[in-house]
Structure 1
Amino acid sequence: MAAPEPAWQPEAPPLTTPWTDQVGPDNALPEYPRPQLTRERWLNLNGLWDYTGGDNATEQILVPYPPESGLSGVQRHDDQMLYERTFDVPADWSGQRLILHFGAVDQRAEVSVNGKQVAVHEGGYTAFSADITDAVEPGAPQQLTVAVSDGNETQPYPVGKQRNDPGGILYTGASGIWQTVWLEPVAPSHITGLDITPDLTGFGITADAAADNGEQVEVAVRDAEGNEATRTSGPAGEPVRVDVPQPHLWTPDDPYLYDLTVRLLGADGAVLDEVGSYTGLRTTGLVNDEQGRPRMALNGKIVFQHGPLDQGYWPDGIYTAPTDEALRFDLDKTKELGFNMVRKHVKVEPARWYYWADRLGLMVWQDMPSLPIDLAIPPEDSPPPTEEMKANYRTEWVDIIDQLRSSTSIVAWVPFNEGWGEFDTAEITDLTRRTDPTRLINPSSGVNCCYSLPDSGAGDIYDDHTYVGPGAPTVIDGRAIVDGEYGGLGLAEEGHLWPGEPSAYEMTESREQLTQRYGEVSDELARIIGANGLSAAIYTQTTDVENEVNGFLTYDRQIMKPDVASVRAHNTAAIEAGSR
């Protein structure tokens, strides 16, 4: 008798988090992945798939953890990947259209069902879907195949900090399927997307539909206690205005959200489709302070925006948090430290990350993942991006904005960081404005440093990077001034280090010294806020990342390095100093 095949096991990552051991084939991110457009019926396709990478033999991989991660069970990079699995369509889905969804696949994916190609997608940060109804074969298991190519920085796509040879401020790549894969049944006429734009008295909503037969949409709004606040109807596919009586605004101190039920109605009034969603009421913009200096505002009031640089990397899952609890954890700690915002740095997160930011009350600056750049080449010799790279950037940036535009927490878009792959800054700022005219634009974070092109004067924000800093920019025009990065105080905690040499912008020797230095830097920040009219400050960073040890938390999330009460007191003081 042949020996049974060994059961799938994760690989041991260099560091484990508190959630590493909770991950397995039966509970790989089981949560519904799209909180702002929910349906009751769906099928999660996360779990064990067959995987063939390059010239290697077929093995099993745990989706949606990238092959480079220990949690995947593979823990290596392959430029070419083939994912395969079967699934059964539930019997009670008969008569419905079947939509296959991917949260994200890096970089180029070709999807087939039963040998029929149903989707081709390029770009590693955006969701995509396919109607697979006509490819399904009745009465048999369905064969799903995803062929992926990903060369990290060798290909003409945005990559953020992913690299084939990581080190310093560049990290391990995350290839292939790295967000949830799932299937849902929908009626032939169904809602395909919701675009929600809030303000101080209500919101506009556009419910796109898969049919155009004069359908109407009905929007019911419930307050936090579950009581219906209002109900409004309008044509599908067109903006519908929803005024909310006695509006309760969203702020970091009071992240109040309204729940929505959106129904698609036929000409006879019959309900064709129903989805759930939510929104918060808020605005973002610029106002002048008493001295005439432009300042960033929330809901028309000056609110100093203070938070950490959040890179979204995990030692066990690389780009993919091991569990939903882990995904929330970093944001919980950010709130605990007294911050009111977070900068999502050159990465796009799964939809549930923004859901937690909305729920917990953290304003978000959303970066565009950078195009590839060789940091070993001096800025003056660094070649500009190719036309293909520029085209891929434009397409993916617009898709990212469209995908995230309904997130209450996002208050600013950041197209470029420190000049990495920067091009046509004013044009990209204009593209960003046309795509979303409701949020502030920080065209070039770190415009004073590194590989940045000369200041274009475009956008709403002038952004200074100074380490250790804090930087002290001054108002030069109608843009708000911010410290887009500063800090970087390091502490190496033995037993909690990634393999390699620890690095930071300034190393400290103990938790006490780190706490003291953070206080000193924060005191200087508070002075600059008052003297210069600074609108925001982003401290590097939430957690250690690989060899960088300048996080509040170690990379494994096991140790909070500085004293929380001291950090919180200084952060609260800075926010108060800039919000008066």
Structure 2
Amino acid sequence: MRLDPHREGAHPVHRSHLATVGLAALVAAALAPTARAAQAPTQLTTPWTDQVSPSNALPDYPRPQLTRDRWRNLNGTWQFAEATPGQAPPIGTKLGERVLVPYPVESLLSGIRRHVDHMWYRRTFTVPPSWRGDRLLLHFQAVDYQAAVYVNGTRVATHTGGYDAFSADITGALRGTGPQELIVGVTDTTDIDSQAVGKQRKPGDGIFYTPSSGIWQTVWMEPVAPAHVQRLETTPDLASGTLRLTARATGGSSVEAIAYAGRREVGRVSGAPGKQLHVPVPRARLWTPDDPYLYTLRVRLREGARVVDEIGSYFGMRSIAKGPGTDGKVRMLLNGKPVMHVGTLDQGFWPDGLHTAPTDAALRFDLDAHKRLGFNMVRKHIKVEPDRWYYWADRLGLLVWQDMPATFAGHDPPAAVKTQYETEMRAMVDQLRNHPSIVMWVPFNEGWGEYEPRRIADTVKSWDPSRLVNANSGVNCCDSLPDGGEGDIYDDHTYVGPGAPAPSTQRAVVDGEYGGLGLRVDGHMYDPERGFAYEMTPDSATLTRRFTELQDRMLTVKQRCAVSGSVYTQISDVENELNGLYTYDRRVLKMDAATVRAANRKLITSTGGEIPPLLPGSPNAVSVYPFNEGTGSTTEDTAGDHDATLINDPTWTTGHSGSALQFNGTNQYADTGAAILDTTGNYTVAAWVKLDRLGSFATAVSQDGGTNSAFFLQYSGADNRFAFSFAGLRALAPTAPEPNRWYHLTGVRDAANGTLTLYVDGQKTATASACLGDPSTGHTVIGRAQYGGNEVDFWPGTLDEIRLYDRALSPTEVEILYKSAR
């Protein structure tokens, strides 16, 4: 997710709030009696905030795909203290503050409510007498970022990585039968260079948010036999009618696996631990978003004839692939059939718990909301959720695109950064690989921390060949490296969009981000003074209408451009972003639910539409403005009948040939009074241009749309380059222009091939892919653009010899046009 690429703007500044409300305030005060927060992230609470207490902090079983009957939750009140680098663990020392685990220390629910770079957690626990003789495993579902774990003064584990689980066998560190001391030291500097931080920042700002440091997922323990199952690896194989299963274990002589449909056994297999087995699943009921059927799995580990470990799990039978349709264009296939993925960007932040949902019901809420609103997919955006989130996605029936949390170490990070990033990404894949809901891995987003994209895409594919790999979501924008055809997916980000990338015969094409429509809801905003969206609407009715318009546009993109996935930004507001379907506190749905559902279901179920043929166009220019008058308040269209009116008195000056118009870059332009070009078809726009200054966006020729110009022949201030653009998409010249020098710019829209091509001084300099153009009935204008419904990008300099064609000129024709006027 990003600020719109067409506009440059300052990120809103994070503003802290000091007040809390209701029971949450009492809990926070009770937990932290000796220290008060200097910075608190939010006043907002959710419907679940007051349900949280030290006695019921996320009590649910944390690992649904590998269950055992005996376990103990260690969430609740722990002692807490800030630490210094290199400090010895406070063994046997009572700490002065109290924290509610597993809520991040910056969160309201933790009771700490401030960022701490280095910290100690401490508590005691007892081992049930019935567990004597077993090995005792201590599990941490996630700790951000570096953790060292001590039991009775013995270091039993260290771990680096903020999003994956780790465990330790602590049997050898236990003492007798009384209380056992547990200390966890954590360092989390939220480093935006080498660390995988995703959207975390100190402080939160704009499209980045308050950090979530320390223990932020469940801590628990369980007894196991010396020989026990460590993890399962499952992959449905529809072609053979089996579940491929590998049980990784510490010892044991054999594994038995039994699959059930309800209580009915459907298949069983036995074999050696660590070897791939094939569990028969004949006539499988396939998992889909409309029928998310799950089979039950029981796995027993034996030593000889004796069962030493027995675990429960589940699985879904489904396949995900890419493949060409009858038109040769590649789409995503679920169970061998094209299925349009329609979802939202889901960032997983909460005003009370930050990275940690306050309760399991809250964790489920966003997924339930997707289903109620007619979505069939969710993109988990540069965050990894607790295992229970994926369990609910499996059960409810949502396709999941799983991002890897980003670093911001640049395109050539040190070898150590690469190694750690890939270690954490491999851990994510291994931990989540059994969930049928996950259909795609996304190693990079918008080029943030992107490096060696082909190697990374191939590496992730080698880890898990059963899923699609989206090498870089938003490869068309931002910090992305040039697209080299990596991975299974071409992923476009266009705000407000949606984008219309050209179809491919090699990769499936998706709109990985678009939308961002906003609405302010009084009493439900994180910081009312700093809230923003990519397009703000005045009321719920307008927001609902605009959402429907975007989804209808997305349907056209699906039908004509073979786009097979769409990700609307976003399911809920996040801090100062006000572009959610829900408010940040999840208390208000901003749109009409029935209308949203109908638009989404139409997008999912509708098939191809009739594509109208492209008209051949006129042999000569349909409108020409040579600006030869040298005086007056209008200028003649010498090829057509759309004379242009001069607005706010641009001045006449010496042009490239004869006279020309000088614009002040503030409010002057020329209005042709008509929509000269059919912007859904082919067209060409040419102009002689000279800039008095560089730095800000400036548009020579455009045509107004409903909100944004349908096209821009422009200077891009964000890139310091000439460009031929759609909103959010640019064909950019390779070098910066010089001020006070004449250039001939030509922008060619080839609708048949789905391209925008920019020519500078008769030579092709750049091409960008865009399957569809935006329809436009607004006026063609000279010297400005339209964005967000506003007149913007006024030209600071001189324009001459504007030519408009209703066809795509060839490279030879463009060169001739340039030379003829040179």
Q: Which TM-score applies when normalising by structure 1?
A: 0.95
From 546, 564, 568, the equivalent of 1:535 is 564
Larger proportion of helix: 1
Superposed, 1:12-161 pairs within 5 Å as 13-54=42-83, 58-154=96-192, 156-161=194-199
Once residues 608 and 380 of structure 2 are traced to their aligned partners in structure 1, the CA distance between those partners, rounded to angstroms, is 22
Q: Secondary structure at the match of 2:183?
A: strand
- Quote the offset at 1:387 in angstroms: 2.6
- Work out the CA distance in 2 between the residues paired with 1:226 and 1:406: 21
Contact 2:573–2:580 (CA under 8 A) maintained in structure 1: yes
Shift of 1:232: 1.5
Match of 1:204 in 2: 244
1:518 maps to 2:555: no
Equivalent residue for 1:280, pick from 277, 298, 316: 316
TM-superposition CA deviations, 1:380-408 (whole Å, max 9, x none): xx674333222211110111101111011
Which 4+ runs in 1 deviate beyond 3 A? 9-13, 54-57
Q: Structure 1 residues 383, 192: closer, same or farther in 2, change over 3 A? A: closer
Contact map agreement 1:486 1:540 (CA 8 A) in 2 = yes
Partner of residue 271, structure 2: 234
Aligned residue number for residue 314 of structure 1: 350
Aligned to 1:376: none
Structure 1 stretch 7-16 or stretch 130-139: which is displaced more? 7-16
Query: Is residue 520 of structure 2 the alignment partner of residue 480 of structure 1?
Result: no
Query: Match of 1:139, as an amino acid?
Result: T
- What secondary structure is seen at the aligned counterpart in 1 of 2:492? strand
Q: How does 1:151-230 map to 2 (within 5 A)?
A: 151-154=189-192, 156-200=194-238, 201-211=241-251, 213=252, 215-223=253-261, 225-230=262-267
Alignment of 1:499-578 (within 5 A): 499=527, 500-577=529-606
Partners in 2 of 1:54 and 1:494 — Cα distance?
A: 40
- Is the 2:32–2:99 contact (alpha carbons within 8 Å) kept by the matching residues of 1? no
How far 1:222 sits from its partner (Å)? Answer: 1.2
Q: Identify if the C-alpha distance between structure 1 residues 566 and 162 changes in structure 2 by more than 3 Å, giving closer, same or farther.
A: same
Contact map agreement 1:464 1:482 (CA 8 A) in 2? yes
Conservation of the 8 A alpha-carbon contact between 1:515 and 1:567? yes
1:255 is aligned, of 289, 292, 297, to 292
| Distance apart, 1:154 and its partner CA | 4.7
3-state SS in 2 of match to 1:432: helix
Shift of 1:129: 0.3
Letter matched to residue 123 of structure 1? G
Task: Give the Cα separation in 2 of the matches to 1:96 and 1:153.
Answer: 40
What's the CA shift for 1:7? Answer: 3.7
After TM superposition, the structure 1 stretch with the greater mean CA deviation from structure 2, 445-454 or 233-242, is 233-242
- 2:384 equivalent in structure 1: 348
Give how far 1:57 is off: 7.0
CA drift at 1:578: 5.4
Asked if the contact 1:284–1:439 (Cα under 8 Å) also holds between the matched residues in 2, the reply is yes
CA contact (8 A) 1:302 1:579 kept: no
Q: Give the Cα–Cα distance (whole angstroms) in 1 for the partners of residues 315 and 598 of structure 2.
A: 31
Task: Say which of 484, 497, 520 aligns to 2:525.
Answer: 497
Q: Is the 8 A contact 2:32 2:97 kept in 1?
A: no
Residue 733 (structure 2) aligns with: none
Cα deviation, 1:337-372, whole Å, max 9, x if unaligned, reads: 100010000000000000000000000000000003
In 1, the alpha carbon distance for the partners of 2:224 and 2:578 equals 47
SS of alignment partner, residue 167 of structure 1: coil
Q: Is the 8 A contact 1:533 1:578 kept in 2?
A: no
Question: What is the deviation of 1:138?
Answer: 1.0
225-234 or 490-499: which moved more? 225-234
Name which of 462, 468, 476 aligns with 1:440. 468
Partner residue, 2:439: 411
Distance 1:350 1:259 in 2: 21
Contact 1:304–1:578 at 8 Å: present in 2 too?
no
2-structure distance, mates of 1:34, 1:75: 28
* Distance apart, 1:415 and its partner CA: 0.4
In structure 1, the residue matched to 2:327 is 291
**Partner SS state of residue 121, structure 1:** strand
Give the aligned length: 563
What CA distance in whole angstroms lies between the structure 1 residues aligned with 2:274 and 2:504? 43
Quick check: 1:304 aligned with 2:304?
no
TM-superposed CA distance for 1:325, in Å, is 0.3
Largest Rg, 1 or 2? 2
By relative contact order (CA 8 Å, sep 6+), the higher-ranking structure is: 1
Corresponding residue SS for 1:292: coil
Q: Deviations over 1:122-141 (max 9, x none)?
A: 01011000000000001221
Partner of 2:480: 452
Task: Name the residue aligned to 1:327.
Answer: 363
Cα drift, residue 202 of structure 1: 2.5
- C-alpha distance in 2 between matches for 1:103 and 1:494: 36
| Counterparts in 2 of 1:232 and 1:117: CA distance versus 1, 3 Å | same
1:80 is matched by which residue type in structure 2?
A: H
Task: Indicate conservation of the 8 Å contact 1:79/1:150, yes or no.
Answer: yes
Cα pair 1:311 1:347 within 8 Å, conserved: yes
Letter in 1 for 2:243: F
Q: Distance in 2 between matches of 1:476 and 1:299?
A: 21
Alignment of 1:468 with 2:508, yes or no, is no
* TM-align CA RMSD: 1.6
The aligned amino acid for 2:144 is: D
Distance 1:386 1:216, change over 3 A: same
Letter in 1 for 2:245: I
Q: Does 1:339 align with 2:375?
A: yes
Mapped partners of 2:608, 2:505: distance in 1: 21
Q: Distance in 1 between matches of 2:70 and 2:149?
A: 23
Q: Over residues 452-509 of structure 1, what are the superposed CA-to-partner deviations in whole Å (9 max), with x where a residue is unaligned?
A: 0000211100000000000000124400110000000000111000025111110001
AA matched with 1:206 = T
Q: Distance in 2 between matches of 1:92 and 1:388?
A: 45
